[in-house]
Amino acid sequence: MKLNLIRPLAFFDLETTGINVGSDRIVEIAILKAMPDGTEQIKTLRVHPGMPIPLQSSLIHGIYDEHIADAPKFAEVAQELAAFIGDADLAGYNSNRFDIPVLLEEFLRAGVDFDMADRRFVDVQNIFHQMEQRTLRAAYKFYCNKDIINAHSAEADITATYHVLLAQLERYEGADFEDKQGKISQPVINDIDALHAFTNMNKPVDFAGRMVYNDQGEEVFNFGKHKNKTVESVFDIEPSYYAWMKQGDFPLYTKKKLEEIWTRWNKKKDLNRVPKAPGSTAPPAHNQKPSGNPVRTAQQQPRKEKPAENVTSDMLEQLKMKFGK
């Protein structure tokens, strides 16, 4: 089928340093420009992001720092890309929520006025999700070829959910699944442990997804300025972040799990403190000799009296000379 186009439609995809629209950068951009006459033009460029590519991102898209070491920065190719896209409408997969916002951020940083007025945006993912809805009713129809009677009543919904799972186990028996790292497995099997692992791939700590487990089993923040940092490492550098979250508008269970990590972190700190040797005392203050008495501050330290000395004839002579007697 040939697209019915009045003007070009530029399909584009970005590989980036991460998924934060405001702070992450493009490392590769590919554009397929479909023309009204049915021809296609393709441009692919790798871009130096001006920052290291996190390993987690490189494992997904396969682009490492050495691959873009000599690549131009986005500002150097921004005009070229804008000219290639021209007045084309834009299309992509999840492009409305990610690719377009990231591209606009890069153009703005480069000082290129990429005019969005009168452009049309086609997000293929939205077509997929809206036409193949992910509701329970749609799942029951898809897997069981039945309509739910009394939909949205608790008993009807939970019965439908049960039968959907049974149908999924039959449909996907022996079916391959490829994860983001390219690993092939057959995860949908009649085993609760396996189903738990497959349906919790993000490994949430608190179910709200504010904290997740990384590959090392450590809790990491999944939002905000400390995203992808371990919770304990954030406590090391900014312990006030704990108080901010405890006082903030976060779910109670998130706060509960945060408090558990905080308590564990504090216990580790206590254990890591160097214990004093038995019988040791604090270092002497103000160059004074240590004593067995408790250490006092400068204000609390009693004034030491000089021991009495025997009066000698020399001392009497000195007094006479001082006072003139």
221 in the same domain as 195: no
> Does residue 84 lie in a domain region?
yes
| E strand spans, the chain | 9-16, 26-34, 40-46, 89-92, 121-123, 177-178, 184-185, 211-213, 219-221
Reported confidence tier of residue 280, pLDDT bands at 50, 70, 90: low
The CATH code of the domain that includes 118 is 3.30.420.10
190 in the same domain as 215: no
The string of pLDDT tens digits covering residues 128-179 is 888 888 899 999 999 999 999 887 778 888 889 999 999 999 999 999 998 8
Higher pLDDT, 229 or 182: 229
- List the end-to-end C-alpha distance of the chain, in Å, as a whole number: 127
pLDDT score recorded for residue 31: 95
Q: Are 85 and 33 in contact (CB under 8 A)?
A: yes
The string of pLDDT tens digits covering residues 60-70 is 899 999 999 99
224 in the same domain as 164: no
Q: Across the chain, how many H-helices and E-strands are there?
A: 11, 9
253 in the same domain as 153: no
Percent of all residues in the chain with a pLDDT value above 70, rounded to a whole number:
84
The string of pLDDT tens digits covering residues 4-59 is 999 999 999 999 999 888 889 999 999 999 999 999 999 999 999 999 999 989 99
97 in the same domain as 18: yes
160 in the same domain as 74: no
Nearest to 266 by CA among 225, 224, 236, 311: 236
Average pLDDT for residues 303-307, to the nearest whole number? 53
> Does residue 250 lie in a domain region?
yes
Given 166, 181, 200, the domain boundary residue is 200
The domain total for the chain is 3
> Does residue 298 lie in a domain region?
no
Domain that includes residue 229, residue range? 211-271
64 in the same domain as 28: yes
In which element (H, E) is residue 74 found?
A: helix 74-85
Contact residues for 161 (Cβ-Cβ < 8 A; gap 6+): 136
3-state secondary structure of 48: strand
DSSP assignment of 89-112: EEEESSIIIIIHHHHHHHHHHTT-
119 in the same domain as 33: yes
> Does residue 296 lie in a domain region?
no
Given 151, 167, 200, the domain boundary residue is 200
> Does residue 239 lie in a domain region?
yes
> Does residue 304 lie in a domain region?
no
Contact residues for 289 (Cβ-Cβ < 8 A; gap 6+): none
111 in the same domain as 76: yes
Higher pLDDT, 300 or 169: 169
Distance, C-alpha 88 to centroid of its chain: 34
- Print the SS3 string covering 158-173: HHHHHHHHHHHHHHCC
- Total residues found in the chain within this entry: 325
145 in the same domain as 117: no
Q: Are 55 and 81 in contact (CB under 8 A)?
A: no
> Does residue 32 lie in a domain region?
yes
Residue 111 has pLDDT above 80, yes or no: yes
113 in the same domain as 72: yes
Residue 220 has pLDDT above 60, yes or no: yes
Average pLDDT for residues 236-249, to the nearest whole number? 94
The string of pLDDT tens digits covering residues 79-98 is 999 999 999 999 999 998 89
Given 200, 221, 247, the domain boundary residue is 200
Output the pTM of the full model.
0.59
pLDDT score recorded for residue 199: 84
> Does residue 260 lie in a domain region?
yes
107 in the same domain as 19: yes
